[in-house]
Each structure stands twice: as C-alpha cells, then as structure tokens.
Structure 1
Amino acid sequence: MNSRKKHITQLLLCFILLIGGTSVAQNIKIKGQVVEENSKQPLAFATVAITDIDSKKPITGTITDDDGKFNVETSASNFHIEVSFMGFISKTITQFEIKNNSINLGLISLAEDAEQLGEVVVQAEVSRNEFKLDKRVFNIGRDISSTGASALEVLSNVPSVSVSIEGAISLRGSEGVQVLINGKPSILTEDSGALGSITSDMIEKIEVITNPSAKYEAEGTTGIINIVIKKEERKGVNGSITLNAGVPDNNSVGLSLNKRSEKFNLFTQIGLGRRSRPQDNININNDLDNGNILYNTGQDYRDEKFYTITLGSDYYINDNNVITISGNYAFEDEDQPSDNNFQLFDENENLESEWNRTEVTEAANPKWQYELQYKRDFEDHDDHDLLISATGRSFSKDQSSLFEDETVSGTNMDREQRTRTDFGENTYTFKLDYTKPFSDKWSMETGAQYVINDVSNDYEVQDLVNGDFETDFGLTNVFEFNQDVLGIYATGAYQSGKWGVKPGLRMEYTNVNTLLVNTDEANSQSYFNLFPSIHTSYKISDAVSIQAGYSNRIYRPRLWDLNPFFNIRNNYNIRQGNPDLQPEYTDSYEITSIFDIGKTALNFGLFHRYTTDVIERVVTSVDNVIVQRPENIGTNSTIGIEFNTKVSPAKWLSFNVDFNYNNFKRVGSYETKVFDFKGDQWNSKILAKFKFPADIDFEATGNYNSKYQTIQFEVDDIAFLDLGLRKKILKGKGVINMSVRDVFNSRINERMTIQDDFEAYTKSMRGRFVTFGFSYGFGKGDAMEYSGGRRR
C-alpha cells in the first residue's frame, strides 16, 4: 500500500472509530498515553483501534484527549491494539499483559512518517499546524485566548496574519486578502464587522494559502484565508453548548447539534449574543496654508445584538454519492452612537470655535446564505471525484443616522444632519471541480466557476434648514455595482519518491458595470486574464523538506473601493471610493524550507511579490477637511522572509514563534506628485503555553507590529499581549476559560501624514477585553461501518 492510500485508510479507520464504541458488553479496560517520539509531547486526537486478529476488522476504539491519554474497553479476547495519527508511523501492539481485566500500555511513542511528500505535519499542543504543498492549516479549537472571540479576533492570532484596529486583514504585511468560508466566498467576509457573527467555538481550522494554485479563484493579490466551520460526523445525537460573558459587554451563547444515521447527517448551529466595541479617537488636521488647526477627540461605539442559525443535511444516496443542502441566516441589530468634541484654532493658536458633534445611528443587517452541493466518488480510485455546487448569498442594510453639532463657544457651528442608507447585495456562485488520478504518480484537476455579484446602495444626506430637512444632492446618489466573473482552470500533478510538481493555468473573464443613478454616470469594464501557477516540493532527508511556488493573482476593486458616497460620520475626515479604479495584478514567488531538528520544528520561507496598478488611498485637504480616495499608483516590489518554529524546553512548557519581515520599493506618481520611496516592516508573535497540575492550561501571546510607511502615511508600531486560562471539569466534557485581550491597553493605532500643504494625525484604541467562557460537549457515538468504505 502506498503512503497516500495508507493515510486515507487511516482516516477512514479514524472516522469509524470516532463515532464511538460497540454495543457489546465490555470488561477489559485498556489505557495509555500517546506522545511524539522526539519531543515526548502528547498527541491529542490520535486514533486507538482494538482490532480482531483474524478478520483484521476494528472491534472498537477511541481517540486520545488533549494530554494524549485514552481509555477504552472491549469484551473481545483475540485482539491487538493499533495506534495511528496522520503524519506519523502507525504502531501495532501485539504483546501486552492483562492484570485484573486491565491493560496499562504506558507511554506509546509515534515517529513522524518520513515518506510523506508535499505535506509536513508540525504538531503543536495549542493549535496543530499542518504545512502542506500549497497551504498551511491552523487548527483553532484549542486556543484558550480565543475564548468568546469573533472570527476577526481569532485571525489576529494566526501566524502571518494581522488585523488592524479598524478590522483590515493583512497577510505578510499586505492587504488584498481573499477571505473564504468553507472554501467559498461568503457574505460574512465582505465586511470585516460581519465576521463578528462567527465565534471561535464554531471554527474548526483556518487555512492560510500564501501562493494559491490555479484551482483557487485568482482574487486576492496577497493570498487566501479560508475559515473552516465545524461539522460533527459521529453517529447518533451529538452536540455542544458554549456560554461566554465579558467586559466590555460581550455575551453570547452557542448551541451545536448533530444527528447522524446511515443515510442522513443533520446538523445545526445556533448562536446569539450582544457585544460592545468602544473606540477612542484623536484627530488633528493642520492646514499649513492658512495656519488653522482642528482638534477632534471623541469616542465611537458599535453596540450590536446578533443572531445566527445554520441548518443543513447530508444525504448519502449510496456509498459513492452524497447531496448536501444547507442554509445560514444571520441578523445584526446595530447601534452606533458617537460623541466628538471639535476645537478650531487660528494661526495664532487662538480658539475660534468649539463644538460637540453627537451621532445616533441604528441599523438592521439581515444576511442569508444557502447552498446545494453534489459529490460523487468514483469506484476506480479514492481520489477520483466530482463536486458540483450552487451557492446564493444576500445581504441588506437598513440604516439611519442623526448628527447634531452644538456650539460650545466662538463661531456658531450649530448644524443638524441625517442620513439614510438602503443597501442590498446578492451574489450567486456556480462551481464544478473534477479530480482524476491516472496512477499513483499522475493526477489532474479541472473545473469552472461563475460568480454573479449584484449590488445597489441608496444613500441620502439631508440638512436641517429653517426647521425642515432638505436633501443635499451633492452627497446623495444611488450607486449600482454589477460584476460577473467566469473562471476555468486545469492543474496537473506528478509525485514520485522524494519529489513532486503541480503546474496549473486558470482563465478568468470579468465584466464590471457601475452606475450613479441620479447623475447617470456609468463606467463599464471587461477584461480577460490568464493566471498560471506552479508548485513543487522535494524531500532532502527525513529532517529537511523544501517547497517552492509561483502564482499570478488579481485584486478587483470592491464595492467600497468604487462607491464615491461613503458616510459623513466625521465630516472633517471623509473616506470615499473611486469608480474609475483598475484592478491590481501581482506575481508571487516563494520558497519554504521545513526542518525537523530533534524536539524542534522550523519553517523558514523567502517570498517576493511584484504588483502593478497598486491601489493606495490618496489624502487631500481643503479647509481642514481630510478626504481619502483610492487611486491606482504605480508598482510595488516586496521581498520578505518568514520564520515559524515550536520549541518545547519542558513537558509543561512550549513556545510557538512567528516572525515576518519584508522590504518594499514603491514607484509611482499621482497628478503632479511623485511617490517613489523604499521602506520595510516586520511583525512577530510569541505564544507561550504552560501546563499546570489539575488539568489547568495557561497561555500568553505577545504581538508586535513595526512602524511602516505608505505613500503618504507613517504608521506607528504596536505591541500588545493576550492571556488565556483553561480548566477542564466534569471528566473532561466541560471546559471553563478566561481570556484577556490587550492586557496593557497598548493596542493603539497611530498614523501621521505630512504633506506640503497640510498635516494630519490620527490615533485610535479599543482597550482591554476580558471574557469568561464555559463549554460542554454531549452525545454518544455508536460504531458504524459502511459496506463500501467510501465515505470520508
């Protein structure tokens, strides 16, 4: 049996055993602990199978807990014990001693499988990291400091990923990331705030794909982040409940239920909660032409109640065909009050005027997503399959705001405004993927995807004039955005011995139309692109592997990049879109080496990205009003290094270290100004995990993001610390947690803009978050074997 078939067999065995024990009376108790051979660290979720010696069939089994320990019972008398884990050499135990109907196997050491090609597994006690040919996988479920966190906050603790205080996601220091849920675009990823409806207890793992193959859509110049949601597979009724409470207001409850039978797998997740996200802000606008300085200090809030429910079912037509239908509904009820103080000084630093601006904003945001999927596994090969899916998603926002400016002293600044937003977006995705292995060495993938995106944003601003509200037609319009993308791809793969290669090509046709309805300003673009990719890997020795890859990527301007009408929450710091934006294109190269040195696993990478038509926000100022507008400005060349490692100096202590550094060169101009400059930036994360007696775990995660420069901004550095504590109770079925994010209130975002005619300074901070959580798992697992052994 070759290595790949061996691992698939292990996975099938693991699946059979995960769904429980047998219904036969059991009277021999078997216990032990599974550890890594080199580091002696526990292996959680390893499979322990009790197998009949004659028939070779599994009798019963279990999986190890967080400490690698297991307990299992059997009434059989003619058996041996098999211990296995993906990425490690399985061990069969045939010699053991039975005393008082008990077997104590003690420590069972598993060695890493040196024959695996294209996939190196680095075991981590907190988040098990899997390094594969074209992606890295971070299993989030055991991270303590993620207690009660949203998906956005979980992402901030993933190596190579950074999340700004405004929710902007970057990978290796660059934005332009495509975020997926379960491998597909989701309405929840279009707005970073919407990721708040996904809580950490719903997430199984996060996949980071820095250099995607042609199989993936070409969107996202920096790469792809895929959030995989949990789905239970054990037979019977199983579930879990999670409760969280925190300060500032962060309370939620989540319920996951699953019922599995021979033909159906019914699953649901329900979540509801409320959270408050206060943010302190300081803005200073300095007009160098007339000498006026505007100081703005205040606090913004985003208070929301959220509800989410997912329903779905897998229907197994037979051993080779399965249909899945699922739907998700999420609703956010938002309040966004703000209170800001403004002070305007003249060139002699005399106070001209002071006023307060208050805001009352309410919004209702319903979101729908539904999917129909069909998968066929062909009989001739385990990896020969066809997948067809159709997904629909819808998001709407009904928002109203009232702004009131009240003069405190000096020049009269009294003013009252109100805004109305009626937003709607519908997206439909049709996808086909086909995989065909021709032999153990050769295989191919091919498929197509068609995405339809239809958006309308009706935005109105009104001013109070003589007791009546009148529409400001200069700030009011209906913006329509329609984008269709058709993609077709093919990849081939050759894998033999210590070497493998996977080339691919993707073709995409894009058609974009925007329209400002009130002013009849239309913009249409159509373009056809080829996106090649190639990935390869080579196993130098049992301890050293090298992976390399190239891909060509695109970043298409999104709705808020294009829509010129944004909001007037702070009418002295305005963001707007640009409907004339062109897409960015990036050539991405990287080479990664993975070392297994004794108790330490090291991952070192070198990458280069070259991007054309870079989209940057250009800042202008007129009468102390700062306006940010995205423009296509030149090229960007980035060279960087990446380093990840896990060190375990003791059984009770381990460290995960992540470090990224990149140096960039910008060449470009806008209007008459040249934006040529060089710069660098780096960030690091260190996670320390401590194991204490009485099943208590403690972890501390330190983060540092260096100072860096854009074409006009200089962004200050940030350092912050997160803490987590976990205690298992109720025989391991219950877990209580506590997490503290930003312990020292040090996660402060500061940036400075210095231009010939103006200077602008901004500072914002969210502060400390403390969360307490409890989770409890329940259910049963009855052993279930499938006649064809095809289900996975």
Structure 2
Amino acid sequence: MKIWKASLSFTLFFLFLSTIKVTAQQGTVTYTGRVVDKSSGQPVAYATVMIADNETQEPITGSTTLEDGSFSLETSASNYYIEISFIGFEKKVMRPSVSNGKTIDLGIIGIEEDAQQLEEVVVEGEVSQTVFKLDKRVFNVGKDLSTTGASALEVLNNVPSVNVNIEGQISLRGSEGVQVLINGKPSILTSDENNALGTITADIIDRVEVITNPSAKYDAEGTSGIINIVLKKEEKKGLNGSVSVNTGAPNNHSVGISLNRRTEKFNLFTQLGAGYRELPNEVTVRNTDLTTGNGILSNGDEFRNETFYNFILGTDYYFNPTSVLTLSGNFALEIEDQPSTTNFAALDSSGDFTSEWERTEVTDARNPKFQYELQYKKDFEDDEDHDLLFSALGNFFGKDQSSEFLDVTLSGEDRDAEQNTRTNFQESIFTFKLDYTKPFADKFSVETGAQYILNDVSNDFEVQNLENGQFVTNPGLTNIFEFDQNVLGVYGTAAYEGKKWGLKAGMRLENTDLGTLLVNTDEANDQNYTNLFPSVHTSYKFSEKISLQAGYSKRIYRPRLWDLNPFFNIRNNFNFRQGNPNLLPEFTDSYEVTGIFFIGKTSLNLGLYHRYTTDIIERISTFENNVNIRRPENIGTNNAWGVEFNTKYSPANWLTFNLDFNYNTFAREGSLDDTVFDFSAEQWSSKLLTKIKLPWDIDFETTGNYRSAFQTVQGEINEIAFLNFGVRKKIMKGKAVLNLSVRDAFASRIRENQIVQNDFEVFNRSFRARFVAFGFSYGFGKGEAMQYSGGRRR
C-alpha cells in the first residue's frame, strides 16, 4: 500500500511538472463540490475524487473529501472524466464539458449504497456470538458491535452473565469481585482504581473470554471470576478520548479526561482527574450487659470527606506485530477529613440514663498511592494461543493520619476526656509473574508458569490520653505492627479439547512465608506453609445451544492485614474491631456444575455448587464493662450447598432483563474455648437489572437488590432490599452523554446486626442514605463518552 501510494504520488508529481508549460498556455479548471449519501443526505468523508484520462483511464490527479464531504480539484487536461468512489457505495462517473481557466461548482453529488457489494462482505460470524470452550465461554465480537463505535463497556454488556451498570461497574453472575484482563494481562486501564475502559473501542476488540471457575493457572486466592478482553492483531490507529464533569449529593464532584493514542508502534494512554466527595454514615449501637442490666447507647453521624487527584500515564510499544512491551504508572493522592459526632448515654437496669456525653472527632489524613507495571508479551506465529507473558507490578499505599477526640459531659456522671491518635501506615506490594502457553495440534495444550508476590507493611499507631493537662501515651494501645508476606507459586496444566468434549487438569504449588511483629512488645508470629491446589475442569457440548461445564478447584483465603493487626480505631471506644496476629488461612474445596442454555433471545445459566471450608474465619465478640470487642478467630468448618441462576433476556430490542438468584444452605461446626458454634442456616439473594431503550436516545436502567436475613455464629444479620436507577441521554450524535444515577432510591439500605449471647447483647445499625449523581461526558476520536469516578477508596 505504501509503495502504491508513493508510486501514485510520484506519477502525479511527474505529470504536474510535465504539464507546467501547457498549463501556462491554456490555463486550468478547478472543480468543487460536496459528496453526500443519497439516501440520508449525510456527508461522506474521505471519499476518493479522481480525474482520469478518457482514453487510457489512468489517473491524472485525485483527492479525498473532507469531514463535510467537500472537495476541490484542479486540472489542465483536455480529455478526462471525474470518478467518485467510496467503500460500500456505487462508483459515480461524471463527464463535464472542458472549460479551462474557470472554477466549476458541481454542487451536491449524491452516491448510493452498493447493495451487491454489501452482500458480498457479509460473512458468517459477523453477528456477535458465544462459543463454549473447555473452562471458559468466548464471546466473539461481530460487526453488529464493532461498527457502532461502542466502548469495551458496551461490548461487555452484551456478554451473557456479565452486567455493566450505567456507572460502569462490572459484575459477573451478580458478583462485583471480577478481575478484568487485557490480552491475558492486568492493566491499569482495568484496575478498580480507575474507569478507563471507555478508551478501548469495540472495533479493536476480537473477543471476550469469561472464566467463572479459574484453573490452577490463576491465583489460588482468586476472585469471583475473570474477564479477558482480547484485542485484534490489526488494532485501529488514531486518537480516542473522553472528558467528563460530574456532581452529586451528598457532595460528590469530579472532572476527568482520558486519552488513548494508537500508532503503528505505540499505544499511549493517560488519564487525569480531580474531585471532592463525602461519605456520611449514620450509626446506632446499643450494648446491654444481661447480667447487670446496664447498657451503653450511642448514636452519631460519621463523615469521610475526601479531596482526590489521579494521574495515569502508560504506553505499549510494539517491537513487531507479535511482541509488545508495556510500561505504565499511576499516581493518586487523597486528602481526608473525617469529622464525626457521637452522643453516648449510660443506662441502668431500669433503663434510666445515669450520664450523657458527646464525643467529637477531628481527623486529617494524606494518602498517597503509586502503581506501576512493566510487561512483555510474545505471541508466536504458529498459533494464536501460543504466547509468553512476563509482568512486574508494584503498588504502594501510605497513610499519614492524626485524630483528636473530645468527650464533653452533658448530664450525670463526669465523662470529660481528651484523646489523640497518630497513624503512619505504609504498604508495598510487588508481583512478578511468568506465563507460557503452548498448543499442540488442534486439541492439546499445556500451560506453565510462576508467580512471586511480596507484601511489606508497617503500621505505627499511637494513642495519647490527656492526664493532668498533658498528653500521655497509652502503652496498651500503642505499638508498631510489621507485616511481611511472600507467596511463591508455580503451576502446570494440560488440556484436551475436542468438538464436543474436553478435559483440563492442573496443579498449583504455593509457598507462603508470613511474619508479624509487634515492635514495642517484641511479640512475633511466623508462619511458613506449602500447599497444593489441584483443579479439574470438563465440558460437554450437546449442541450450539446447550453446554454443560463442571469443575473442581482448591482455594485459599489468607488473612488480610486488618484481620491480623491488633490495633483499632477508637472512634467509638465502647465498640472496637481488633485484629488477630495468630490467624490461620482458610482452605476451601469448591465443586461446581453449570448448564448453559440459549433459548431464542434468552441465555440461561443454572449452576449447582458445593463448598467445604476449613479453619473458617469469623469475627467473635467478647464483652466486658459494656465494651464490645470483635476479633477474628478460626472456629471450625463450613459445609455449604447452593444453586445459582442467571439469565439475560431481551424480549424486544428496547428491553433487556438480567436476573441473578443465589440460594445456599450451610452447616457450621466449630468451637472457641468453651463455646460451641454448631448450627445450620440458609440464605438467598437476588438482583434484577432492567434496561429500557427509550426514544430520543434515552436509556433507563433500574436495579433491584434483595438479600435475606441470615444467622451468624453469634446472632443474625437483617434482610436488605433497595433500588438503584439511572437515566442516560445521548446528545451531539452520540458523542456526548448526560447521566443521572440514584443509589438507594427509597433510602431502604439499612444494615442491622444483632449479637445475642447468654450474658450480653449488641445491636448495630448503619445507614448511608440516598446518593444522587449527575454527569456530562464527551467522547472524541473513536472514544466513547464515559463517567470518571475518581477511583476506589482505601
């Protein structure tokens, strides 16, 4: 193509030089005009306008139309015709009379679609469709999506079992704990910290792979599923981007811009954003000592106000079509203000107040966050699934926080007091990963690789009490907690996949080296354990419409930092959440059988699952002097059976329903000290997402959520039902969007937790109220208008 263009340019230049003398003697004629689609009247940009010799039919000169369809072309030839052409349209030939030395306006020139040519380019598979693979489902993106200018988020919305709401949150089978990959590797563009998938357009997406039960290739400590977006080899070039402005109540304001520039060798992407948001929370807690009848009642409003800034910069460099190097970084800064006011009352056995006081908090914090990645991927030419991937990712999060607490007596017993706290927190996580996949023939493949994760944390926490006019450190609540965890994993899988039946088996070995240290008291807890995590997956395809998949995997849940850290927030100093440095990990054997059915316009997923968990972690409350301390403990086993149903149904082009339903029954066996926690219970949840396409490019969406009440080891958690809705209006020919969303429209999302024991009761209620947000977004280039959210809170 480049040689042809160069040859044509040279030819035109040569013809121009050779006709200078003739032009000077006879003059030139200039033709102008405007090319439009005859059926719609819309301008046709980049159509080819050529002047060619009547006898030889060789081109004399040529040009392309501008964005508005206009063109200007001049010639000094004496025997020629004008030809206008564009892909998908019939050629139009014009033979104007020769009139040198003048400018001739050809006016509006209408061209018609070439029905025969359009029929020729329609091939099987141009409509998006789902293909069943051994341990995943593959959604192939056809021209019905790739030619619409949609973003990756809209493509995901068409994938069975995947939902994307108006705010851009992705869920798989009703759960939001989803890992999104691009070309099999993590990307800052898909991180929970950002919302930049709108810069990836449908025309460069080849397929979307959905994995609901990950194999041994993936972390044994996994998520609810994996979504892998595979881009086409011949990615379209150009500039994509979006800018958005958002506001809301309670205060939630932000502005952001996302850019993506693709060339033959480089893909450059960036995102900049800033904003301010508030997160109020109304909390009520009642502690009752059943032995004495005394109690503490607290009620207050907590706020977390945050000013945030975010910057992303990254690039993909293509050494050649099969090798790409990615380098990217993300910096974010959160400046927090956490004012709160809590009213306390002490009650006697008759329910009368013996004292009342008010506790106020002033908290300031600065939270810097860094994330960077270096990745190299090599695709081998013998097979599209033969590849090598190396990645190195780093994350850093810091918190420098100070708090002031003031207790003021309102009546009764003197409760005046002052406390200060100081926190210096630093966390670094480094992940190194190597994956290699090799297919053999058409039916066999192997995967192997390794991963090493280093997690280093230090939390310096101090509490001071005002005594005799001076602040004195409280040694029982002050310490430096250090947490180091290194996890090394290696894996191998082998798979056979025939036309109807397939089998994939693998083994992952992980070694965990964990150490915690309380520096001031020199209390250390070191753990080192090695575990095998097998996985087996099989599938059978009865037809293109019916498929059955089954799988087994062993999973692990390692205690998080805040599960282990023994220190806590003293905002409410009668109710604490405390960590346990001696916690052991949970292990789960997970079995799953899923049937996938396509009936007309409906996709159905019906699954049965069984999960057996050992050393399960539960937060256990202990009670003394009306103070409730909740601490995680390993208390036994959990044996759960359940059914999961998911469907996506579109009875009409303008109406879509997504229904998720989950029911499970579980049996608990365990004890702690002299307390036995054996019991059986059940729970269920459902979510109904309704999408309606209204006239005038308006989309309306509602999401109804329900979760039943269920029993816990010490009490019960209440049922919850709430409704979210959103409205989106496209303007400016779809390049801009107005967006309105309301979370918890009826202010019904109230969380209540009741702990009932022989000698005490604790009731906890929290309510975050209704959130309303309004935004304007504008997409340019091939980018789609999208909302900038500012990233996930820490």
Residue 104 of structure 2: aligned partner:
none
Task: State the shift of 1:370 in Å.
Answer: 0.9
* Structure 2 match to 1:75: 86
Which position in structure 2 is the counterpart of 1:16?
A: none
Q: Deviations over 1:217-269 (max 9, x none)?
A: 1114x745679899996422221111111111111112111222111111101
Could you tell me how far 1:122 is from its partner in structure 2? Answer: 10
Shift of residue 77 of structure 1? 7.8
2:174 aligned residue (153, 156, 160): 160
What is the aligned partner in structure 1 of residue 666 from structure 2?
Answer: 664
Which residue matches 2:340? 338
For residues 97-136 of structure 1, give each alpha carbon's deviation from its aligned partner in whole angstroms, at most 9, with x where no partner exists.
Answer: x995235779x9976768754426499999666999xxx8
Matched with 1:429 is 431
Pairing of 1:145-224 with structure 2 (within 5 A):
146=167, 154=169, 159-161=173-175, 210-220=212-222, 223-224=224-225
Give yes or no for the alignment of 1:635 onto 2:630.
Answer: no
CA RMSD of aligned residues (A): 3.5
Counterpart of 2:7 in structure 1 is none
Give the conservation status (yes or no) of the 8 Å contact 2:188–2:330: no
Judge conservation of contact 1:120–1:130 (CA < 8 Å) in 2: no
Partner of 2:778: 776
**Is structure 2 residue 586 aligned with structure 1 residue 588?**
no
- Aligned match for 2:727, one of 720, 725, 728: 725
Aligned partners of 2:350, 2:402: CA distance in 1, in Å?
40
1:195 deviates by: 5.4
Q: Distance in 2 between matches of 1:122 and 1:351?
A: 67
Residue 676 (structure 1) aligned to one of 666, 678, 685? 678
Match for residue 102 of structure 1? Answer: 113
Q: CA deviation at 1:303?
A: 0.6
Other structure's SS at 2:563 match: helix
- Within 2, Cα distance between the matches of 1:333 and 1:606? 46
1:137, distance to aligned residue in structure 2 (A) = 6.7
Q: Which has the higher contact order (CA 8 A, sep 6+)?
A: 1
1:242 match: 244
How many residue pairs get aligned? The number is 670
Structure 1 distance, partners of 2:704, 2:129, is 33
- Taking a change above 3 Å as real, the CA distance of residues 74 and 471 of structure 1, as seen in their structure-2 partners, is farther
Output aligned runs, 1:610-621, within 5 Å: 610-621=612-623
Matched residue, 2:355: 353
Q: Offset of 1:737 from its aligned partner? A: 1.0
Contact 2:221–2:558 (CA under 8 A) maintained in structure 1: yes
C-alpha distance after superposition, 1:413-468 (max 9, x if no partner): 11100100000111111110001111111111110001111110000000011111
Output the amino acid matched with 2:599. Answer: I
Residues 669-700 of structure 1: CA deviation (Å, up to 9, x unaligned): 01000000001111111111222111111111
Q: TM (normalized to structure 2)?
A: 0.78
Q: 1:131 to 1:729 in 2, by over 3 A?
A: closer
Report the AA paired with residue 162 of structure 2.
F
CA change 1:203–1:28 in 2 (3 A) is closer
Matching residue's letter, 2:682: D
- Indicate how the Cα distance of structure 1 residues 227 and 354 shifts in structure 2: closer, same or farther if over 3 A, else same: farther
In the superposition, relative to structure 1, how do residues 228 and 615 fare at CA in structure 2: closer, same or farther (>3 Å)?
farther
On the 8 A contact 1:197/1:330 being kept in 2, the answer is no
Q: For 1:329, what is the secondary structure of its paired residue?
A: strand
- Give the structure 2 partner of residue 498 of structure 1: 500
- Return the alpha-carbon distance in structure 1 between the equivalents of residues 474 and 230 of structure 2: 45
> SS where residue 476 of structure 2 aligns?
coil
Secondary structure of the structure 1 residue equivalent to 2:415: coil
Percent sequence identity over aligned pairs: 57
Indicate whether 1:758 and 2:725 are aligned: no
- More deviation in 305-314 or 644-653? 644-653
Structure 1 partner of 2:401:
399
Distance 1:533 1:120 in 2: 20
For the residues of structure 1 that align with 2:360 and 2:751, how far apart are their CA atoms? 23
Residue 697 of structure 1, aligned match among 688, 695, 699: 699
1:725 to 1:747, Cα distance in 2 relative to 1, 3 A: same
Instruction: State whether residues 658 and 685 of structure 1, in contact with CA within 8 Å, keep that contact through their aligned partners in structure 2.
Output: yes
User: Any idea what SS the aligned residue of 1:212 has?
Assistant: coil
- Cα distance in 1 for residues equivalent to 2:272 and 2:561: 30
Deviation string 1:545-570 (CA, Å, 9 cap, x unpaired) is 11111100111111111110122111
Is contact 1:510–1:527 with CA below 8 Å preserved after alignment? Answer: yes
Paired residues of 2:373 and 2:394 also in contact (CA < 8 A): yes
Residue pairs, 1:354-433, within 5 angstroms:
354-433=356-435
| C-alpha spacing 1:419/1:200, structure 2 compared with 1 (3 Å) | farther
Structure (1 or 2) with the larger CA radius of gyration: 2
Structure 2 SS opposite 1:561: helix
Q: 1:388 to 1:327 in 2, by over 3 A?
A: same
After superposition, the C-alpha distances for 1:160-179 in whole angstroms (9 at most, x for unaligned) are 327xxxxxxxxxxxxxx686
> Which letter maps to 2:485?
Q
Q: Is the 8 A contact 2:298 2:342 kept in 1?
A: yes
Q: Are the equivalent residues in 1 in contact too, given 2:196–2:258 (CA < 8 A)? A: no
**Residue 318 of structure 1: CA displacement?**
1.5
Change (3 A) 1:456 1:112: closer
User: Structure 1 regions of 5+ residues with no counterpart?
Assistant: 1-24, 33-59, 61-72, 81-97, 148-153, 163-176, 782-792
Match of 1:92 in 2: none
